[in-house]
Amino acid sequence: MGKRIRVDKLLSHMGFGTRSEIKKAVKQGKVTVDGKTVKDSGLIVDPGHNEIAYEGSPVVYRDVVYFMMNKPPGVISATEDGRERTVIDLLEPEDRLLEPFPVGRLDKDTVGLLLLTNDGQLAHELLSPRKHVPKTYQARVRGDVGDDDKQRFQEGVALDDGYVTMPAELQVLERQNQDGDVYSTIRLTIHEGKFHQVKRMFEAVDKKVVYLKRVSMGPLGLDETLPEGTYRELTEEELDSLRMHRHSGS
């Protein structure tokens, strides 16, 4: 690993207390490095090589975090906001310590896959317009979505500001009649991330999105066992798929 860090900073990063509380704990002999009691809270350690323990329990250091959240409706994809609840407010206090942020935005009423991390490089690559990272959504749309819409989406549609979208793959999963209206359940994969893009694409073909859920972003798919409003760390396999995606340049 080769990352050198003060022992008090490492322990405060990991949620063991403030620097002053950790200084006190060191004085009380609660912290050991490689089995020896630490006398100096400013001791420089390498968490990749040194074994650090607090009150006898090993401390596993991490400086990057990756969380998959199933975003619920009613919260905004931001790190802080004066008025609204944010996705960061849904994290446990210890999971906020390393200051993760949402990778991209889902509208307040949109649900589904949201990646939170403090890995700025990965976030940049997933969001870079040049990368055209595919994002797949499932939606319920008021209107009879058919072959004409598939064709138009495949060719690219002009949004309300004149921007013409890249080709997108539209699939109709089912249609239902309800109160005299036709509703279509669809899956849509887009390769860019314009503001309110999915909703605006359907408005361009005279239809209205009434429910929107993101189910994948690049190689990362939503864990459907995650209830809305909950999150978990990415698995090694999921992380590996993101890294491979990053290095493939696709």
Name the residues annotated as catalytic. Answer: 107
- In 3-state terms, what secondary structure has residue 7? helix
- In 3-state terms, what secondary structure has residue 178? strand
Query: Could you tell me where the beta strands, DSSP code E, fall in 1-119?
Result: 5-6, 31-33, 36-37, 44-45, 52-54, 57-58, 66-71, 101-102, 111-117
CB environment 20-32: b (16+ within 10 A), e (fewer): eebeebbeeebbb
* 71 and 116 Cβ atoms separated by less than 8 Å: no
State the residue for tokens 């990053």: 246
DSSP 8-state secondary structure symbol assigned to residue 76 = B
